[in-house]
């Protein structure tokens, strides 16, 4: 069962990473196409300008469009990264919650097999499991908060 869970988790992570890499590749392809189109357009503008006094305003307008394209690229790349991070956090949170539940079940099973002299150790283990469960809950809350922002 643990091996199946591990494979399932690995599959989810791999699918998400492949999807993110596909989005980044599409973004780069789109940027390359836009750059070629912009270079073609800029070359035509420079050829049409003809007089030196037109070069400065032309260069300024071309610089503005290049800066805007870089800002857009950064925006989309950040969006891809943040969605990937949220999805990975959700997957990690679900794995942590599943592990916490398994640990809790094991502790309950061990409680029935523990001799009466080991109750202090049992109490400590239960407290640790409780802390792990609380940490998993906080991780899930963070993932949900990150998904909303």
Query: Which of 143, 149, 138 has its CA nearest to residue 87?
Result: 143
pLDDT band at 114 (very low <50, low <70, confident <90, very high): low
Does residue 147 or residue 82 have the better pLDDT? 82
Q: Is residue 49 predicted with pLDDT exceeding 70?
A: yes
Burial string for 110-138 (b: 16+ CB within 10 Å, else e) reads eeeeeeeeeeeeeeebeeebeebbeebee
Does residue 144 or residue 83 have the better pLDDT? 83
Q: Is residue 1 predicted with pLDDT exceeding 60?
A: no
Q: Which residues constitute the domain of residue 57? A: 2-148
Contact yes or no for 86/20 (Cβ under 8 A): no
pLDDT of residue 22: 92
Per the structure, the count of domains in the chain is 1
d(CA 26, CA 42): 24
């Amino acid at each position: 069962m643990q091996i199946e869970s591990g494979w399932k988790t690995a599959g989810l992570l791999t699918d998400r990473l492949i999807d993110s890499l596909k989005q980044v590749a599409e973004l780069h392809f789109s940027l390359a196409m836009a750059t070629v189109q912009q270079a073609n357009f800029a070359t035509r503008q420079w050829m049409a300008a003809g007089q030196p006094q037109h070069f400065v305003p032309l260069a300024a307008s071309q610089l503005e469009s290049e800066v805007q394209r870089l800002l857009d690229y950064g925006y989309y790349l950040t969006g891809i990264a943040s969605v990937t991070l949220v999805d990975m956090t959700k997957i990690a949170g679900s794995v942590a919650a599943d592990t916490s539940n398994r640990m809790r079940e094991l502790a309950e099973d061990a409680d029935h097999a523990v001799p009466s002299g080991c109750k202090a150790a049992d109490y400590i283990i239960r407290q640790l499991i409780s802390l792990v469960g609380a940490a998993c809950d906080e991780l899930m809350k963070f993932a949900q908060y990150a998904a909303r922002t």
